[in-house]
């Protein structure tokens, strides 16, 4: 009988299913254990939170120094790329590096009880029976035997569980390249595992850490450097009749709303700035600036301290690609070195230097059509587009003779294009957090707000075992942005209907508590999806994530049209997409309209959220499905 790597991690960390408890004693969170259990020999991209008031720059510098000294073999694409943002460090690390470098920097490691326990493992044979019990459970031939063996775990302490699991993953990682075990997870390797082998690997690791402490005592100060370690998670992208459905056109006409003074950030895969739907009356592109954050890790990497290495020269070439005229090798090398030095000297990120590598032409083709579609819902301008096409004498795009462009919520709004999603429609949490911090920087360097709102039509599933709901790194960053006066709108996610695998087979059903990040953040306006023009009839879309949040707060806040929504696509295209990604920009447009009409609402994101929620139309569905109800822009205007 074989076990999956996740089942094994859950069993060791949390105990048997009939006696399961949550353990958060270790600074290494559950998603990290599961990732390494699935690929024990591979490095994982991690987010490392500094301890209390410790600044991220010096912590990143110390980690980079110690990782470089270990000098573990890395294939191309496995570079550590230790980098930092405000309050956060990112690094791609092997499991041995996590145990030898990161864990000894934590407060958990410095706890006297932990130190005494670890010393007891090295001086006695205490750990061997613990590991042997796990091996016997994993190798059991049937469920009844497993259940019986699980009773022996009753006297395992939290430290027993963490150390035993660390030993098993460490041993499994050492098997890479040893056919036929190469590339297998710890679940499939349990048939070959032997207790003494695991203990020997742990003993060797403990000796290495003690040796580090003796040789480099200045790196092991009494004050902890690291609080916790989590995965650098991946983000997924979560109009003809949809705008009238929320009464956006009626409110715009009745209240004579002009949004040309409002600027909205679209954090997505990129906007096609060459599309006629994003032109103003003078034919100029309404995208104020565009930034590509897909290479932010390489830009702020502490590896850039070493400018003479082949890896740096290759990275320099990649970052200069398309910028050769404006960015010489010498200037680029100097900037990257200065950014890395800033970390070592506890200086904040110098965003003006970073801009040299992230600023792009707004008409640069996007990686996918998702961001263009989202931006079109917010601010497509059909009048300008039709005029441009008639002037060119071009045939209308579409497959039917009655095809026509239509307006988005705010046809004259200005955009900031933040490209945080890659070609595969997924990218890291680190890049999104960097973009959120950059928006704060843009606003803080002026006496007025430059970016009034941000739309995040993206989705990161929340694992309740790792963070309190709404307190993940990306949620915390969104809260900071809201506190700075920026409206943040996020998709609820598309996990409302799921397929489940059980011992009895597969079944499908609706999923509660399925709101994704950053929609779990309290200050964010979280948007679910409904039918594009018959919301009262069809209610909330089957795929739309349901609330409440894991800690019992009402989410989503609102619902808006999200099924078969028509909007623009790259290359002068026009088409339909589905999802809460399409619902969120309707609310972004509504918030922008409120600020355009009532300028005293600028810088008051929580008040705007309250107005939109209190004026929503009740669809007669469960609050955990619909939140406060369907977005109603006209009623929101009348409420003020």
Judge whether residue 466 has pLDDT over 90: no
Query: For residue 183, what pLDDT is reported?
Result: 64
Q: Return the pLDDT at 191.
A: 72
Residue 312 above 90 pLDDT?
A: yes
CA distance 374 to 267: 10
Q: What is the pLDDT, as a whole number, of residue 402?
A: 40
- Given this model, what pLDDT does residue 306 score? 92
CATH class of the domain whose range is 234-295+362-510+565-639: alpha beta
Q: How many CA atoms lie within 13 A of 435 on its CB side?
A: 32
Using CB atoms within 10 A of its CB, is residue 152 exposed (0-12), middle (13-18) or buried (19+)? middle
Close Cβ partners of 172 (under 8 Å, ≥ 6 residues apart): 37, 40, 41, 184, 185, 186, 189, 193
Q: What is the rounded average pLDDT for all residues in the chain? A: 86
Q: Of the given ranges (315-319, 402-406, 634-638), which has the lowest mean pLDDT? A: 402-406
Q: DSSP assignment of 237-280, as one string?
A: ---TTHHHHTTHHHHHHHTT---TT-EEEEEES---TTSGGGB-
**Confidence (pLDDT) at 582:** 94
**Interval 258-280 mean pLDDT:** 94
Task: Give strand pairing partners of 290.
Answer: 360, 417
Q: Are 546 and 626 in contact (CB under 8 A)?
A: no
pLDDT digits (tens, 9 = 90+) for 25-55: 688 988 899 899 999 989 999 999 999 888 9
- The pairing of strands 487-491 and 453-456 is parallel
The answer on pLDDT for 240 being more than 60 is no
109 touches 98 (CB < 8 A): no
* All residues at 6 or more sequence positions from 123 whose CB lies less than 8 Å from its CB, including other chains: none
- What would the pLDDT profile of 570-602 be if each residue is shown by its tens digit? 999 999 999 999 999 999 999 999 999 999 999
Task: Pick from 166-175, 378-387, 433-442 the range whose average pLDDT is largest.
Answer: 433-442
Angle at 220 between CA 215 and CA 224, to 5 degrees: 165
Q: Which of 287-301, 389-403, 488-502 has the highest mean pLDDT?
A: 287-301
Least confident range from 402-406, 419-423, 461-465, 494-498: namely 402-406
Whether the per-residue pLDDT at 179 is higher than 80: the answer is no
Among 133-137, 441-445, 528-532, the range with the most confident prediction by mean pLDDT is 441-445
Is the CB of residue 607 less than 8 Å from the CB of residue 601? Answer: yes
Alpha-carbon distance 472 to 223, whole Å? Answer: 24
First to last CA, the chain: 65
Domain boundaries, the chain: 5-231, 234-295+362-510+565-639, 301-348
CA distance linking residue 546 with residue 562, whole number of Å:
14
* Residue 241 to residues 246, 291, 407, Cα–Cα distance (Å): 9, 32, 10
Q: Percent of the chain at pLDDT above 90? A: 52
Q: Does the pLDDT value for residue 139 go beyond 90?
A: no
């Amino acid at each position: 009988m074989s076990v999956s790597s996740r089942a094994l991690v859950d069993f060791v960390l949390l105990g048997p299913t009939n006696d399961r408890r949550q353990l958060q004693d270790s600074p290494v969170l559950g998603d990290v254990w599961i990732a390494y259990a699935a690929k024990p020999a591979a490095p994982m991209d991690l987010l490392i939170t500094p301890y209390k008031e410790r600044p991220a720059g010096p912590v990143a510098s110390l980690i980079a120094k110690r990782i470089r000294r270990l000098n573990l073999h890395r294939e191309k694409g496995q570079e550590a790329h230790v980098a930092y943002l405000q309050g956060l460090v990112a690094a791609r690390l092997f499991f041995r590096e996590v145990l030898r470098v990161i864990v000894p920097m934590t407060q958990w490691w410095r706890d006297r009880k932990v130190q005494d326990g670890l010393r007891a493992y090295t001086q006695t044979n205490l750990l061997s029976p613990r590991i042997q019990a796990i091996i016997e459970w994993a190798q059991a031939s049937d469920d009844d035997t497993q259940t019986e063996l699980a009773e022996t775990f009753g006297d395992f302490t939290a430290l027993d569980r963490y150390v035993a699991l660390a030993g098993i993953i460490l041993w499994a990682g050492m098997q890479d390249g040893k056919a036929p075990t190469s590339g297998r997870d710890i679940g499939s390797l349990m048939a070959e595992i032997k207790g003494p082998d695991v203990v020997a690997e742990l003993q060797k690791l403990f000796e290495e850490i003690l040796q580090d402490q003796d040789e480099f005592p200045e790196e092991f100060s009494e004050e902890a450097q690291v609080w916790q370690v989590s995965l650098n998670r991946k983000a997924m992208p979560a109009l003809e009749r949809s705008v009238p459905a929320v009464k956006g056109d009626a409110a715009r006409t009745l209240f004579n709303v002009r949004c040309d003074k409002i600027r909205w950030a679209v954090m997505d895969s990129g906007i096609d700035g060459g599309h006629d739907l994003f032109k103003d009356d003078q034919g100029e592109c309404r995208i104020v600036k565009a930034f590509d954050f897909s290479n932010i890790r390489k830009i702020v990497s502490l590896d850039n301290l070493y400018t003479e290495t082949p890896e740096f020269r290759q990275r320099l070439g990649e970052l200069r690609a398309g910028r050769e005229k404006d960015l010489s090798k010498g200037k680029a090398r100097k900037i990257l070195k200065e950014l890395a030095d800033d970390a070592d000297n506890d200086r904040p990120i110098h965003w003006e230097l970073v801009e040299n590598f992230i600023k792009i032409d707004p008409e640069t083709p996007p990686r996918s059509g998702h961001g263009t579609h989202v931006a079109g819902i917010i601010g497509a301008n059909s009048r300008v587009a039709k005029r441009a096409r008639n002037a060119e004498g071009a045939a209308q795009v579409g497959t039917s003779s009655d095809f026509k462009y239509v307006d988005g919520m705010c046809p004259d709004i200005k955009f900031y294009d933040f490209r945080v999603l890659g070609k595969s429609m997924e990218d890291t949490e680190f890049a999104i957090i960097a973009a959120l911090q950059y928006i704060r920087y843009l606003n803080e360097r002026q006496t007025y707000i430059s970016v009034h709102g941000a739309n995040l039509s993206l989705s990161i599933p929340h694992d309740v075992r790792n963070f309190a709901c709404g307190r993940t790194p990306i949620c915390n960053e969104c809260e900071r942005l809201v506190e700075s006066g920026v409206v943040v709108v996020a998709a609820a996610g598309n996990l409302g209907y799921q397929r489940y695998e059980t011992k009895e087979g597969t079944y499908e059903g609706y999923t509660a508590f399925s709101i994704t990040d950053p929609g779990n953040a309290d200050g964010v306006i979280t948007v679910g999806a409904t039918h594009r023009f018959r919301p009262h009839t069809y209610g909330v879309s089957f795929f739309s994530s349901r609330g409440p949040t894991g800690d019992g707060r009402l989410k989503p806040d609102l619902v808006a049209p999200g099924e078969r929504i028509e909007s623009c696509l790259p290359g002068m295209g026009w088409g339909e997409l589905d999802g809460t990604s399409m619902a969120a920009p309707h609310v972004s447009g509504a918030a922008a309209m409120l600020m355009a009409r009532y300028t005293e609402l600028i810088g008051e994101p929580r008040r705007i959220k309250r107005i939109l929620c209190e004026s929503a139309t009740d669809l007669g569905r469960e609050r955990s499905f619909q939140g406060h109800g369907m977005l109603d822009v006209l009623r929101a205007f009348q409420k003020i």
